[in-house]
Structure 1
């Protein structure tokens, strides 16, 4: 540890300790208890993955495909912003289970929730919420999910995961579109009978517009909207729906305003043209699905003006707007919902959530609400136990003022990325982010993947995004001390002899 970093850590730890849900003490890991001790720094004694992870990988590979497994974890010992692997290596985690850990590992509030006997019946009896919800279900939805609803939204539907959230969000848009077409009248007998054979008019040829670089999930409808990774789509039957080019902006955004505005206008014109083209072809666009920041597709940003105009185009053409906040929601950008940064004139029609929210689901405007039973439905349509855990998360966010922390830490993290980028322009470019939802590009996929592996072997876990980007998705409890450790290890990894100057 450098003298400068040691001094920074010592001074920062004193300021941060009062705001941390656990003590910041020298490395000492215990079994899961109310009082957890977060490690002071990463500690790596083997390669990652190490021998035990490799052995476990061989066992699991006999049962299922393991090509995506990075390492096995010891979740009993993981704590706060640190994940411990099966070999005992302690890694500062800036990927957090694909951005799904909200307040760190084994947070005391989460442990207390599990130990509370009043919650046991909720955890051991999973109800079919669509037919037999528990008596307190509406109160749980109101006090937790609706307490953080996007401005202007007062309806919510839970789901099990992000992909099924998108699937059912699409259904909601289709159902609402066809109800408008019928002017609110019930379906005809012909529509009811023809849909049973997947034929019109009951099975309407309506479409959803999405964008290049999008990633909305891994089920069939969601993958039809996704254009970030060929593994998400190859060999699968994809819907022939319209795809518009997402703006390809230049960074830093504040230095490339004119060029970026022109690029966004080109994209918006393409959206309008696609909607008109599909309308003329008799395949109207019922909705548009978009991420506030394209996450798996490369952390691609667009301006508030872009999203404002996109909403206007959708409204003018009778297309619903689904804002996919599965990865960007629950505070990672410094506001609870990323689209709040865009100052939209009115709420989107649907806002999808998942990951850090611990449950899938979507908020929706009144006109998106189905009028018949069993239209948006599956066995569970969510899980009350996840709302109980979400209560602990929201309590922590409020009590510890974590959105302010995310904003402050994010600015510090992004400034540090930009400083390292200036030192090593051969390796890093396009540092960008909102809050702690940050990313930076490397020269090519090989260098990016090499960087990820090199940082793991030094005790930092980060993830890929798009073809060349490092994706940073820390917990909301991530602070400047953690950011400094990450930045130190990022710089030292660049300096390693492993990284030769690209030809």
Structure 2
């Protein structure tokens, strides 16, 4: 029997440890250099994280800046559909297809391809929401909203012209604490952090109070409170309609407000908005850029409430942004989804994103990930509710699927809490 070497006497293991230490230090140096280069030209106001793409996998982000893993509950602002380096993408044929797609950026608006058609077919089959069967694809969630607004304005103004009321109907009714983007028309809707909208030109479109459920209240008081605030909001909406109804093209709402504070609505309220739009010749627009593609345990959050919008904006997890339009648009024959060049862009969405999205959609379908989001989200919610009962610092636990949140008493405690989680390997 050969002599047994102690840990310190094993030169091969010692050299391996030294190599690992050297490699880790080299990687930290590379990460530090990346940050130094970026800081010369870019405002670095995000996380001090440098992504190691190769070593990130599943729910784990590998941070090259600290040479450590993080459990990622952030997911690139909720835009990660299947995690890091899903095994599906290890298939050489899949890698070849993605690499080929990345070599050129196709102008999908004018040049068509089998890859584009395959994406549209897969998206329609896996994530389609009949009767919203007309699609527009574009790069960026804000531009998806922009084009939904343009389609609504076009529809309303053409109706007003046909009725002899003139070229009117471009206002969009929206809600306090809404976030719909940071470009053009969306600046007139977004009203969360004033740093994102102050001093930029905006329209004075009708803005109403936000009757979100107050989860900080005891269960016994919660329903009466939200019903009272829904009634107040309805009065505000009807006041604007009485005042300038023919000028209002649409009502837009996030089925759950994201940046505004994870604000949830009752299904009764969303159904009431549907009725108001039907009664007053307005379109209902749902912004599902953040809530869509399974996050809430249904493919689209609106499916929880049985409410069908006329226009729905999507993005983030889909990887490609855009708008779905329903049959009500066809009350105007030459609507924006039928008239050539009325809504358009150079790229018509991103071809490489479409190829990747096709594969992500197949994974979601094959692995039943929407149902998984419901099951795992329920576990998260129940565990947080239990924690809330034990730790008074945590309040207002709420969630639908994996769209889960809770409150802390003030920004200082929130920041301390966040850092504590980060230091323990959890990114939220």
TM-score (norm 2): 0.86
Is contact 1:83–1:90 with CA below 8 Å preserved after alignment?
yes
Does the 8 A contact of 1:146 with 1:156 survive in 2? no
Secondary structure, aligned partner of 1:288: strand
The answer as to 2:236 corresponding to 1:270 is: yes
Q: 1:135 deviation in Å?
A: 4.7
Partner of 1:62: 40
| Residue range with higher mean Cα deviation, 133-142 or 59-68 | 133-142
- Select 2:193's aligned residue among 229, 245, 249: 229
Whether the 8 Å contact between 1:220 and 1:236 is mirrored in structure 2 is no
More helix by share: 2
In the other structure, the counterpart of 2:283 is: 320
Distance 2:109 2:83 in 1: 32
**SS of equivalent to 2:182:** coil
Q: Supply the distance in 2 between the matched residues of 1:113 and 1:308 (Cα, whole angstroms).
A: 47
Within the alignment, does 1:96 sit opposite 2:59 as a pair? no
Counterpart among 52, 55, 62 of residue 74 in structure 1: 52
Distance 1:216 1:113, change over 3 A: farther
Number of aligned pairs?
394
Quickly say closer, same or farther: Cα 1:155–1:372, change in 2 above 3 A.
Answer: closer
Please tell me whether the aligned partners of residues 116 and 355 of structure 2 are also in contact (alpha carbons under 8 angstroms): no
Q: Say if 1:121 and 1:67 are closer, same or farther in 2 by CA, change over 3 A.
A: closer
Aligned to 2:374: 407
Q: Secondary structure of the residue that 1:385 maps to in structure 2?
A: helix
Aligned twin of 2:418: 452
SS in 1 for 2:322: strand
Matched, 1:159 2:138: yes
1:348 CA drift (Å) = 0.6
Structure 2 counterpart SS, 1:208: strand
1:336 aligns with 2:299: yes
Distance 1:68 1:267, change over 3 A: same
Q: Aligned to 2:316, which of 327, 339, 355?
A: 355
Q: Does 1:308 align with 2:271?
A: yes
Give the Cα separation in 2 of the matches to 1:442 and 1:307: 28
Within a 5 Å distance, the mapping from 1:355-434 to structure 2 comes to 355-368=316-329, 369-370=335-336, 371-425=338-392, 427-434=393-400
238-247 or 127-136, which moves further after superposition? Answer: 127-136
Contact 1:72 1:85 in 2 (8 A): yes
Partner of 1:206: 170
Q: Deviations over 1:116-169 (max 9, x none)?
A: 445554332322122222255344312324541124221111111111111111
Structure 1 range deviating more: 427-436 or 369-378: 369-378
Tell me if the contact between 2:60 and 2:70 (Cα under 8 Å) persists in the aligned partners: yes
Counterpart contact for 1:113–1:392, Cα < 8 Å: no
Q: Check conservation: 1:325, 1:352, Cα contact below 8 A.
A: yes
Q: Structure 1: 5+ residue runs without aligned partners?
A: 1-44, 186-199, 463-503
What secondary structure does 2:102 align onto? helix
Q: Please give the per-residue CA displacement for 1:236-281, whole angstroms capped at 9, x wherever unaligned.
A: 11111111111142227854222222222222222222232233xx
Distance 1:118 1:68, change over 3 A: closer
| RMSD of Structure 2 on Structure 1 (CA) | 2.5
Task: Tell me if structure 1 keeps the 8 A contact 2:171–2:206.
Answer: yes
For the residues of structure 1 that align with 2:219 and 2:275, how far apart are their CA atoms? Answer: 24
Q: Indicate the larger mover: 290-299 or 222-231.
A: 222-231
1:406 is displaced (CA, Å) by 1.2
- Do 2:156 and 2:169's aligned partners in 1 also have CA atoms closer than 8 Å? no
Using the alignment, how far apart are the partners of 2:372 and 2:43 within structure 1? Answer: 39
Please identify, of 379-388 and 52-61, the stretch whose mean Cα deviation from structure 2 is larger. 52-61
Deviation at 1:113, TM superposition (A): 7.4
SS, match of residue 205 in structure 2: coil
* Residue 140 in structure 1 maps to residue 125 in structure 2: no
Whole-Å separation in 1 of the counterparts to 2:306 and 2:142 = 27
Shift of 1:114: 7.0
Structure 1 residues 258 and 114: alpha-carbon distance in aligned structure 2, compared to 1, 3 A threshold: farther
The alignment's TM-score, normalised by the length of structure 1, stands at 0.73
Does the 8 A contact of 1:130 with 1:380 survive in 2?
Answer: yes
The alignment partner of 2:420 has SS state of helix
Q: Residues 114 and 376 (structure 1 numbering): CA distance in 2 closer, same or farther, change over 3 Å? A: farther
Query: What is the CA-CA distance between 1:411 and the residue it aligns to?
Result: 1.1
